[in-house]
Structure 1
Amino acid sequence: MLNKLFALMVFAGVPLSIAGSVLHWPSILMFVIYCLTIIALASYMGRATESLAIVAGPRIGGLLNATFGNAVELIISIFALKAGLVEVVLASLTGSVLGNLLLVAGLSFFVGGLKYKRQEFNVYDARHNAGLLTFAILVAFVIPEVFSVTMSETKTLSLSVGISVIMITLYLAALYFKLVTHRGVYQHKSDEVEEHEEPEWSKGKSIAILALATAAVAYVSENLVHTFEAVAESFGWSELFIGVIIVAIVGNAAEHASAIIMAYKNKMNVAVEIAIGSTLQIAMFVAPVLVLVSLLFPVQMPLVFSLPELIAMATAVLLTIVLSNDGDTNWFEGATMLAAYIIMGIGFYLL
């Protein structure tokens, strides 16, 4: 039933998006149409990557899901950078970190915990991810903010570029570590629980749908960016709130749906890989890439977040590490993470 609804939204949303942009329909209406269309397209991306995950295994499957899910976020952010909306991009990166760690992981733990008393996942992966999260948020994001106080804008941008190159290099090294040199070294009993399942789509069909959906998202995202200013004025929302909450939720719709479905099926390794892996990819790859891409535009983006954004991300990381470092979760831990997300959401709305 839900798949039919998403199919209707895609086949109606894409033509409406094209018609609305050509005929210049009201910005509020188009904002809603664009968001619903992106969410529907993201559902197809999620189903395609889930089919690939069944073939490739939980780690690669989770990585594929996070990568194509973050492709939406990357596309929206590049068009926002082109439009000079640096604050919106930084806010959307913050929102992605908070959304993946607290909302996606929280909902996954909560929904899965309602069906199962306890759910286990690979504790070695959890500890590995904890170290990378600490580096990405508490080191690489905090250093530019601290040093920028006594630096010129040019030096701050140079520092941001240097950190970005280091983060991308370390992220690629982390993938090589997990998927090549130490693949299968840190096995956990939860890795053996995954039961055999037939993929919904073939490998070729999944790749084709991913390519088409990504192209459609690119077109819709470019138009979505142009509605931000009008929507902010109409609802009294700040650019910070639009970036942290709205853009982040829409841009990460694919991961949201896939991780929750995996948790409900008790495939926690995939669910955690999607939520945590997506966060690491946003922090260590997408954010640095955007810094480098911004060098091509009139307005550059240093890797300098506001104090509320930094504190919120650091708090989310610490809470996630504390709750997930034992490789065991339940519905109450999920509820705790959701509560933290709601508190932060209220704070950004009132800011």
Structure 2
Amino acid sequence: MKGVPIMNKVFIVLVFGGVPLSVIGTLMHWSSILLFIIYCVTIIALASFMGRATESLAIIAGPRIGGLLNATFGNAVELIISIFALKAGLIGVVLASLTGSVIGNLLLVAGLSFFIGGIKFKRQSFNVYDARHNSGLLMFGVIVAFVIPEVFSKSMDASKTLIFSIGISVILITLYLAALFFKLVTHRGVYQTKDESRALHADEVPEWSKGKAIAVLFLATIAVAYISEHLVHTFTEVGKTFGWTELFIGVVIVAIVGNAAEHASAIIMAYKNKMDVAVEIAVGSTLQIAMFVAPLLVLISLFFPTTMRLLFTLPELIAMVTAALLMIVISNDGESNWFEGATLLAAYVIMGIGFYLL
């Protein structure tokens, strides 16, 4: 491994040691606390591989597709965990993890990206047109699609609320696919600045080839999904040991661990001053959770005994709306710095304390 950066060597050791340990520990029923630690460390190491693969694809395909690929592979883990939770009837945990993903991406991931990138560079910029486009989608996907069902459900019975949730889910998925078609097909490059156009044609060499990067993403996602599925089963014992409530585990722990891949990737991209990719990962992942993963889970739940409705608790709704509005205000100018990152992180810590004490 001559010439490989020291941190990459560490992650290689953790992956090739952590994955077998995770399988062996699961089969031999080791302590839940020990398995929890092994699972988390292994997922973080796998996330580093996903980040490197995504960076290679971003150089080859451009920041938008690179960010979209990372958000998709990262959210695949969240989707798999949620499907198993739905099957077990844990609707509250699923909704809490969705909440955690939204506030985690908008406040923690974006906050760390802005903060760490801002320490190295006094001012970083990203596509202002993308930022404004995403602002409208955030308003719709988080505020309209999540708040409206809660308001109208006050005057509906359970069956009508479910029908309403199904209708909203179909609309959300349709609009999300239309948004992808808009950005990647009909208006691809239309709002690209001259600086970005030159950047895309810069003489950058990807670390891995397209085939190898896709293969690494695919294999790492399978490994993360396997480990994450078993990680969920350790939460009850871990919660009792550390005094964590089910809501706190769903909003904070599941969301952070389940989205570790894009967390790592966004921070790495920001540190390398590739803010278009970093912002696309943080905001794009949020939009994918709100407009695709959440409504898809509503439709999937129809095949299980317990159905899920798009009804969040008041603290969850307020947290998501606040995170969306704060991100819109901070990112609408297409620039970021370490202080804006610190502001987002402070909001996340405040919400985390609130959910812990709730």
Contact 2:33 2:238 in 1 (8 A): yes
Contact 1:122 1:190 in 2 (8 A): no
Instruction: Name the aligned partner's letter for residue 23 of structure 2.
Output: I
2:113 is equivalent to residue 108 of structure 1: yes
C-alpha separation in 1, matches of 2:339 and 2:296: 36
C-alpha separation in 1, matches of 2:154 and 2:355: 23
Deviations 1:63-115 (A, max 9, x none): 11111111111121112222222111111111111111111111111111111
2:60 is equivalent to residue 38 of structure 1: no
Q: What's 1:19 paired with?
A: 24
Instruction: Name the aligned partner's letter for residue 246 of structure 1.
Output: I
Q: What's 1:246 paired with?
A: 253
1:218 shift after superposition = 2.3
C-alpha separation in 1, matches of 2:15 and 2:355: 31
Equivalent of residue 216 in structure 1, options 203, 208, 223: 223
Unaligned runs of 5+ in 2: 1-5
Deviations 1:249-304 (A, max 9, x none): 11111111111111111111111111111111111111111111111222211111
Q: What's 1:132 paired with?
A: 137
Q: What's 2:3 paired with?
A: none
Give me the TM-score of the superposition, normalised by structure 2.
0.95
Equivalent of residue 257 in structure 1, options 243, 264, 268: 264
2:210 is equivalent to residue 188 of structure 1: no
Equivalent of residue 60 in structure 2, options 40, 55, 60: 55
What is the percentage of aligned positions where both structures have the same residue?
Answer: 77
Task: Provide the secondary structure at the position in 2 that maps to 1:78.
Answer: helix
Q: What's 1:121 paired with?
A: 126
Equivalent of residue 151 in structure 1, options 129, 151, 156: 156
Instruction: Name the aligned partner's letter for residue 242 of structure 1.
Output: I
C-alpha separation in 1, matches of 2:335 and 2:31: 48
Contact 1:241 1:348 in 2 (8 A): yes
Q: What's 2:77 paired with?
A: 72
C-alpha separation in 1, matches of 2:314 and 2:74: 27
Give me the TM-score of the superposition, normalised by structure 1.
0.97
Cα RMSD over matched residues? 1.3
Q: Pick closer, same or farther for the CA change 1:318–1:332 going to 2, 3 Å.
A: same
2:184 is equivalent to residue 200 of structure 1: no
Task: Provide the secondary structure at the position in 1 that maps to 2:303.
Answer: coil
C-alpha separation in 2, matches of 1:235 and 1:34: 17
Contact 1:50 1:65 in 2 (8 A): no
Instruction: Name the aligned partner's letter for residue 228 of structure 1.
Output: F
Contact 2:51 2:268 in 1 (8 A): no
Contact 1:20 1:30 in 2 (8 A): yes
Contact 1:79 1:225 in 2 (8 A): no
2:319 is equivalent to residue 319 of structure 1: no
Q: What's 2:353 paired with?
A: 346
Instruction: Name the aligned partner's letter for residue 327 of structure 2.
Output: T
Deviations 1:293-335 (A, max 9, x none): 1112222111111100000000011111111101111111111
Structure 1 stretches of 4+ moved >4 Å: none
Contact 1:121 1:190 in 2 (8 A): no
